[in-house]
Amino acid sequence: MTTGKDVTIYDIAEELGISASTVSRALKDHPHVKPELKKKILAIAKRLGYQQNKFASNLRQRRTHTIGVVIPRLDSYFMSTVISGMEKVANQAGYQLIISQSQESAQKEVANINTLYNSRIDGLLISLSYETQSLEHLSILFRKGIPVVFFDRVCDHPKCKSVVINNFKAGYEATEHLINQGCKRIVHLGGSMLRNVYSERYKGYIQALMDHGIKPDKNLIIYSDLSRQSGEEVARQMLDWKKLPDGVFAANDTSAVSLICELKKNGVKIPEEVAVVGFNNDPISSVVEPHLTTIHYPGREMGEIAAGSLINLLTNRQSEILSTIILSHSLIIRESSARLGKSSSKSQSEARKKGALTSD
């Protein structure tokens, strides 16, 4: 018959006629408990269905060995690779992740932070939502000395470390590649300028145009949520223009791929009429025809380094220098932009020679 009552060390002690402290020591594998008795205690504990109260134990230690993670969306290939890297490093160090998504909402991000705080997380890994403008909701963590590490979508804060790529340089390289393929009227399909990743890619786009004597045209700069639908809408918008642009640099692969599909459906040749470059190197980039030129974004490595940095802060706060870690990226040239026949294998091999990690 099921009673629903939790089994305690006192129940085990009563069954064996020993003290509760002896049972407690045995369950913690204490060397002072004889092996034969320890074996009996563990057998009784298993038969009775004893569960260790880790929550109470953690409260006594003032540590839960849990790390909170807040990401914009769970349905992102890039974010899934980041989480995979985080989980690998965290689990190896004895930590578990509590993962939540803001769904690009600042209000939901605030709610997530409060929930994680009340769950007594030891530290936080966060990539900011589209809408977030203030870090006030993180002050509750700062006051309690709970370390925070930003990754990907970051914000400068004197108490936090950040892990990013050089988005300005990546945006510059993507745009320069299109220019080198003969493009002069290049559309930039960007995201929220509140977020560093999109504002820096935009700045790289502008700088590349100016360095090659091309005057930026505000009519060719389009902001969106970078969804599949937005890519289709931008393609239809371009088709209504009197003069079709000859290049597109999209700030993610999802919008770039849907844009290519919509243009092709309307008879536009890729890359002969419109060359396209995306961003992130999602699997979809090598499935679409023609294959999409893109920026490789090291998601798994970003997750591993972000988690490792946070754990260093948790285990040895004095030794960790708060700074920004910049991971390397690479331009992968494929058929969607390669008008002059440049191979992707060459671009990737050259990128691998550039080195992997710098810190500012």
Which are the contacts of 199, defined by CB distance < 8 A and separation ≥ 6?
A: 193
Amino acid at 63: R
Neighbours of 178 (CB within 10 A): 26
* Residue showing tokens 């600042």: 106
| Domain range list for the chain | 9-52, 64-165+299-327, 167-298+329-359
Q: What pLDDT shows up at residue 56?
A: 52
Calpha distance 97→59 (Å, rounded)? 18
Angstrom CA distances, 288 to 191, 254, 334, stand at 22, 11, 11
Calpha distance 238→344 (Å, rounded)? 27
Q: What pLDDT shows up at residue 348?
A: 40
Q: What pLDDT shows up at residue 322?
A: 62
User: In the chain, which residues have pLDDT < 50?
Assistant: 1-3, 59-60, 343-360
**CATH 3.40.50.2300 correct for 64-165+299-327:** yes
pTM score: 0.79
CATH classification for the domain delimited by 167-298+329-359, as one of 3.40.50.2300, 2.130.10.10, 3.30.420.10, 3.30.565.60: 3.40.50.2300
161-165 and 324-327 as β-strands: parallel, antiparallel, unpaired? Answer: parallel
Q: What pLDDT shows up at residue 170?
A: 98
Q: What pLDDT shows up at residue 267?
A: 97
Q: What pLDDT shows up at residue 345?
A: 39
The reply to whether 64-165+299-327 shares the fold of 9-52 is no
Superfamily of domain 9-52: lambda repressor-like DNA-binding domains (1.10.260.40)
Q: What pLDDT shows up at residue 358?
A: 34
- pLDDT tens-digit readout, 24-48: 888 878 888 888 898 888 888 888 8
Q: What pLDDT shows up at residue 45?
A: 86
Amino acid at 146: I
Angstrom CA distances, 114 to 39, 52, 118, 121, 138, stand at 43, 27, 6, 11, 9
Calpha distance 288→67 (Å, rounded)? 37
Q: What pLDDT shows up at residue 351?
A: 40
- pLDDT tens-digit readout, 100-113: 999 999 999 999 99
Q: Report which secondary-structure segment, H or E, holds 71.
A: strand 66-71
Mean pLDDT of the chain: 89
Coil vs helix vs strand at 124: strand
Nearest by Cα to 155 from 280, 70, 35: 70
Q: What pLDDT shows up at residue 203?
A: 98
